A and B are shown apart, each in its own frame.
Chain A
């Protein structure tokens, strides 16, 4: 990458107009400009380029050379915004922010970064909840949001090739009317990108039946941390060698950057039934979940909301959740009509056995939408009760739901905090949500303690640290609760095979190795800080 023009003396960094060219996808123009620039420099007339051209920082200069000025951003505003994601993590520090549009662009970002010994971090929409995309020590930020093309949809083979910046819900919207959809449906699906889904192996309510993202990603074009581009997996079936595709999914951006993703498309079910059951006791709802599974029914979704969530949500969405219930259970069944009809009856019977007061079956799409709207807007409605919230994510064996839920209420309330539960009960995937006011002195410590206690309780009950949010920075320090040093070493072997130099999103996932700058969770509570 070295060339003569980089030897010119640094005169300081002054950028031209701040407004990036929005529709500046014309690479031809940029090539033309850079050619002229080189010629001008070549004959010693660098000053003609004036204040727009002279870039003192060699890393920035090389990135601009590769991507063009408009797609390389160094402003302090951008760097502060790209220093965080949707999580509680504070103190990240982004370096130069790049907006690649092609695989070659991404490869160039990575190659330039590592050639300067600099780390790089891929970032999609920044909706992650574990700090996985929070940069440590000014890495090059590779923002994939402009790689948002749906390249190909093959309805016969039921696959689609998409860019990593395609928004999850946009793909399913794009497919509407084809009878197919993309199954993973994380709660952030209206905003999160498929590249982010791949990095986090995202779930969602319907992965109970259909499986998490890994089950829906067939092949991935990846820019490896050395800049090499490889295709992992295959459109159909396995590819020769190790299942590197499987290893890559859920790698939280530490194994390379996905630049094109081949996803499996799922048939829309011919029949869908949504049931709402309400209970006097949350234990009844929790035990019913196990009973449903044990009876041989795998619903498309099984979601529980507790009393506090119902009280917060119902006034907004008017879904008809009974306000005096201790919990409601949403059951969604899908498939062919007879099987669904039969399962509805069986669910009703199981519900009544477990103390369900009423079982409501949505009559039409409108009613179904309202039942789901309450579930999907739960976190938003909660924000109205208290200004701040801390959302956890652990998984436990589903047969122990009732007992673990009770323990969680206890440990949170012991610390004078309020917890609300709205979660993917069918998978045993808990999402305890501690709500509080960050301006209250000392509250942070209690929130932190309660969070750690929830993780401990879950692991002790035979569960795991995270079901869908990932480890990122947030749960790194808890890894030892679930894994022995030998387990972690094996994971590190996988990571090292992909990233020999440790420059891909460093300091994430594994507690060993580099620490992340000045990053902390929930460390301070100035006015307005949320967690």
Chain B
């Protein structure tokens, strides 16, 4: 079993701290600032496909985890750039592109063993796939940019990989495509082209591919999306791609900071104050600045 005492030691009881994963999305929500950097443990503790859960150090890279899971036919609802870590993906809190099938990032974290601002280790959530024992700290931690606690070891929900999949794209109205496919993994729209990923049982995927082909869509490679993200506001900027149902626009421009309702900000600030009254964790970052 992975021990968090080293991490707790590193975090200590005083001084500003920031946890570093792969550093692939280091600028999300503000600059880390010149503070002490700690690293979460790495490595896979245990994985049992029959439980559909994996116990893993938050510092482990997504690709290492993906390889280990794929060997047993499973995967996890996290994605990120090459080199990204599990902890980083959870803290940035973006749902995977294939969210229609894999699920949301909010639902992936079952348990998190953390170090709090007082340097004490605490456990959020529980090890089982279903759990309503106490408050849902896990969902609070996802997307918190490391401002509430340093996450060291996590238990994640895994899912079986689909047998087959296909990306299809064509100049077909979005609504037509949506009505033709059952639970698509991803639907993208760039104002002209509708791109969809279908996945599942081989024969079902073939049928859907045929059906979509009949509508005028063609098989394509996974599309490369613009790097920046903004909230969907009903307006698609030039070069932008809407991730349908996710409320996200992938675009070239860096988005302006989102508007946050006063009440939500007050509550959010109170949350941060409750967990980290001395603002030790990631003082330069603020989840309220993340647009999407």
User: A68 → chain B, closest Cβ, in Å?
Assistant: 27
A247 near B133 (CB under 8 angstroms)? no
Contacting A at CB under 8 A, from B125-164, are: 126-137, 139-140, 142-144, 148-149, 159-161
- Residue on B nearest A287 in the bound complex, by CB: B50
- B-side contacts of A242, CB under 8 Å: 140, 143-144, 148, 268, 271-272, 287
User: B282 → chain A, closest Cβ, in Å?
Assistant: 13
Task: Report the Cα distance A343→B201, complex, angstroms.
Answer: 9
User: B235 → chain A, closest Cβ, in Å?
Assistant: 14
User: A263 → chain B, closest Cβ, in Å?
Assistant: 14
Given A242-B287, A250-B135, A491-B137: A293 in contact with B52 (beta carbons within 8 A): yes
Give the segment of A22-30, A47-55, A138-146, A230-238 that binds chain B.
A230-238
Q: Residue among B74, B104, B266 with the most chain A CB within 10 A?
A: B104
- B-side contacts of A156, CB under 8 Å: 175, 178
- Residue on A nearest B107 in the bound complex, by CB: A215
Task: Report the Cα distance A336→B198, complex, angstroms.
Answer: 12
Give the segment of B36-44, B58-66, B114-122 that binds chain A.
B114-122
B130 near A397 (CB under 8 angstroms)? no
A338 near B260 (CB under 8 angstroms)? no
B271 near A494 (CB under 8 angstroms)? yes
- Residue on B nearest A491 in the bound complex, by CB: B135
Give the segment of B80-88, B216-224, B240-248 that binds chain A.
B240-248
Task: Report the Cα distance A487→B121, complex, angstroms.
Answer: 8
Instruction: Tell me if A207 counts as interface (CB < 8 A to partner B).
Output: yes
Task: Report the Cα distance A291→B49, complex, angstroms.
Answer: 9
- A-side contacts of B202, CB under 8 Å: 338
Give the segment of A83-91, A354-362, A464-472 that binds chain B.
A464-472
- A-side contacts of B143, CB under 8 Å: 238, 242-243
A241 near B106 (CB under 8 angstroms)? no
- Residue on A nearest B147 in the bound complex, by CB: A242
Task: Report the Cα distance A278→B33, complex, angstroms.
Answer: 62
Instruction: Tell me if A451 counts as interface (CB < 8 A to partner B).
Output: no
- A-side contacts of B114, CB under 8 Å: 490
Task: Report the Cα distance A466→B181, complex, angstroms.
Answer: 37
- B-side contacts of A249, CB under 8 Å: 136, 139
| Interface residues as binary, B211-252 with A (CB distance below 8 Å gives 1, 0 otherwise) | 000000000000000000001100000000000011110000
Given A158-B245, A464-B131: A335 in contact with B182 (beta carbons within 8 A): yes
Instruction: Tell me if A395 counts as interface (CB < 8 A to partner B).
Output: yes
B264 near A239 (CB under 8 angstroms)? yes
| Interface residues as binary, B180-202 with A (CB distance below 8 Å gives 1, 0 otherwise) | 00110000000000000000111
Task: Report the Cα distance A510→B135, complex, angstroms.
Answer: 9
B268 near A336 (CB under 8 angstroms)? no
Instruction: Tell me if A267 counts as interface (CB < 8 A to partner B).
Output: yes
- A-side contacts of B139, CB under 8 Å: 214, 243, 246-247, 249
- Residue on B nearest A231 in the bound complex, by CB: B261
User: B74 → chain A, closest Cβ, in Å?
Assistant: 8
- A-side contacts of B25, CB under 8 Å: none
Instruction: Tell me if A493 counts as interface (CB < 8 A to partner B).
Output: yes
Q: Residue among B52, B204, B266, B268 with the most chain A CB within 10 A?
A: B204
Given A246-B106, A490-B275: A230 in contact with B267 (beta carbons within 8 A): yes
B124 near A487 (CB under 8 angstroms)? yes
B130 near A468 (CB under 8 angstroms)? yes
Q: Residue among A156, A250, A470, A493 with the most chain B CB within 10 A?
A: A493
- Residue on B nearest A400 in the bound complex, by CB: B51
Instruction: Tell me if A320 counts as interface (CB < 8 A to partner B).
Output: no
Instruction: Tell me if A505 counts as interface (CB < 8 A to partner B).
Output: no
Given A243-B139, A395-B128: A342 in contact with B203 (beta carbons within 8 A): yes
A241 near B287 (CB under 8 angstroms)? yes
Instruction: Tell me if B288 counts as interface (CB < 8 A to partner A).
Output: yes
B264 near A467 (CB under 8 angstroms)? no
- B-side contacts of A200, CB under 8 Å: 132
B126 near A338 (CB under 8 angstroms)? no
- A-side contacts of B51, CB under 8 Å: 290, 293, 397-399
A240 near B260 (CB under 8 angstroms)? yes
The 5 closest A-B pairs by CB, nearest first: A246-B139, A237-B247, A236-B247, A339-B201, A338-B203
Residues of A within 8 A of B (CB): 156-158, 200-201, 203, 207, 211-212, 214-215, 224, 228-232, 234-244, 246-247, 249-251, 267, 269-270, 290-291, 293-294, 296-298, 335-339, 342-343, 395-399, 424, 427-429, 462-471, 475, 479, 482-484, 486-491, 493-498, 500, 509-510
Residues of B within 8 A of A (CB): 48-52, 73-74, 93-95, 103-104, 106-107, 114, 116, 120-124, 126-137, 139-140, 142-144, 148-149, 159-161, 175, 178, 182-183, 200-204, 207-208, 231-232, 245-248, 258-261, 263-268, 270-275, 287-292
24 contacts between A and B (CB under 8 A): A215-B103, A215-B107, A228-B266, A230-B261, A230-B263, A237-B231, A238-B290, A240-B260, A242-B140, A243-B93, A247-B136, A249-B139, A267-B183, A298-B159, A335-B204, A336-B201, A395-B128, A428-B130, A429-B130, A467-B128, A470-B132, A482-B133, A483-B134, A487-B122
